[in-house]
Amino acid sequence: MKADWRSKPFHLSRRSLWIAFLLAPAAVIMMTFVVWPLVSALQLSFFRFEGLKPGDFVWFENFYKVLFQSPFRDATYNAFWHNIVVFFALMVLENGVALLIAYALLKELPGHRLHQVIVFLPVVLSAVIVGFLWKLLLHPLFGVVNAALGLFGIMGPAWLGSEATALGSIVFANVWHWIGFPALVLLAGMQRISREVLEAARLDGAGDWTILTRIVWPLIAPSVTIVTVLTFIGSFNWFELPLLMADMEGSPGRSTDVLALYFYRTAFGSVTSGIQDFGQGSALAVLMFLFVGAVTFIALKFLRSRELEI
């Protein structure tokens, strides 16, 4: 083909037109609805908004406010901290349990197909359904969870109403919603390990725990990398569940506030308490974007190098 386009310039132009025709629609849509908005977000973050119109160009004032000026700063760090907590909680509760489920499924005991289908079922449901369902189940007076605890004579807590339990309750709903995803991704990683390796270890008398930690774990490193990075991105984009199960304000008392909620509230205002500020909102968005991008990049480098070592 190479010789083709060097020797026939006329053919080249028809061929390039054909290639351009193939590329153009996707490129135009991406430029219009992804690239341009992202560039604009950066631009908006440098303006002070007078009411709803961009006013003066103020350099980094919006960034300064959300990072260093109280009380915006306090809200930013509070939300940021919750994102971190959510990430680690999901790593342990969601991915940790998913690893065990995957290993149990790897044994291909009778009914394992059914169990795969069951554990993945909530993954296909909308966050709206999951959020509202758990909000009703966790209702402090009429919810099924507290009714069940009541059978054992336990007075259940207020769950979403108490600062001590609210974030944990939403994390739990998230685990229930998503656990099938890491479970089956890790299972796929495990199924790629050669059976001889596992059989050999078993014949040597290794128990399940040893096999899981010493053989399976190192060999599924690529899947673990992907799951970790996706959990990180997911934790820092956490929005739907806290919005639906708590509210836009991160109630009670900002205990469920996360960056995406704070960003949304800052940018669009909340009907009951706040006014809009596109400038500060855009600054938050740019910071979140940079942070998630940078950490993902570094993590991929680091985890990939770990994979190579192993």
- Per CB under 8 A, which of residues 104..123 are in contact with other proteins? 104-105, 107-112, 114-123
Answer yes or no whether residue 296 interacts with other proteins by CB under 8 A: yes
Question: Using the rule CB under 8 A, which residue among 84, 92, 125, 294 binds other proteins?
Answer: 125
CB of 88 to other proteins, least distance (A): 20
Closest CA to 263 of 245, 237, 244, 241: 237
User: Applying CB under 8 A, does 151 fall inside the site for other proteins?
Assistant: yes
* Of the residues 133, 206, 221, 295, which one makes contact with other proteins according to CB under 8 A: 133
Out of 64, 67, 93, 176, the only residue in the binding site for other proteins (CB under 8 A) is 176
Instruction: Decide: is 181 part of the binding site for other proteins (CB under 8 A).
Output: yes
Segment near other proteins (CB under 8 A); pick from 56-64, 83-91, 151-159, 213-221:
151-159
Among 201, 226, 299, 303, binds other proteins (CB under 8 A): 226
Residues in the chain: 310
| Contact pattern for other proteins over residues 44 through 73, marking x by CB under 8 A | x-----xxxx---------------xxxx-
Residues 254-273 that bind other proteins (CB under 8 A): 254, 260, 263, 266-273
Residue 162 contacts other proteins per CB under 8 A: yes
CA–CA–CA angle 229, 234, 239 (5° rounding): 165
Q: Confirm or reject binding of residue 298 to other proteins (CB under 8 A).
A: no
Determine if 132 is a binding residue for other proteins (CB under 8 A): yes
Among 84, 92, 154, 188, binds other proteins (CB under 8 A): 188
Q: Sort 187 into a burial class: Cβ within 10 Å, 0-12 / 13-18 / 19+.
A: buried
Q: Contact between 278 and other proteins (CB under 8 A)?
A: yes
Place of tokens 């908005």: 37
Q: By CB under 8 A, is residue 168 in contact with other proteins?
A: no
- Which listed residue (60, 81, 92, 126) binds other proteins by CB under 8 A? 126
Residues 231-250 that bind other proteins (CB under 8 A): 233, 237, 239-240, 244, 247, 249-250
CB of 310 to other proteins, least distance (A): 19
Q: Which of 95, 232, 258, 281 binds other proteins (CB under 8 A)?
A: 281
36/143 Cα distance (integer angstroms): 46
CB 172 within 8 A of CB 87: no
Q: Residue 62 is encoded by which pair of tokens?
A: 């919006």
Residue 96 binding other proteins, by CB under 8 A: no
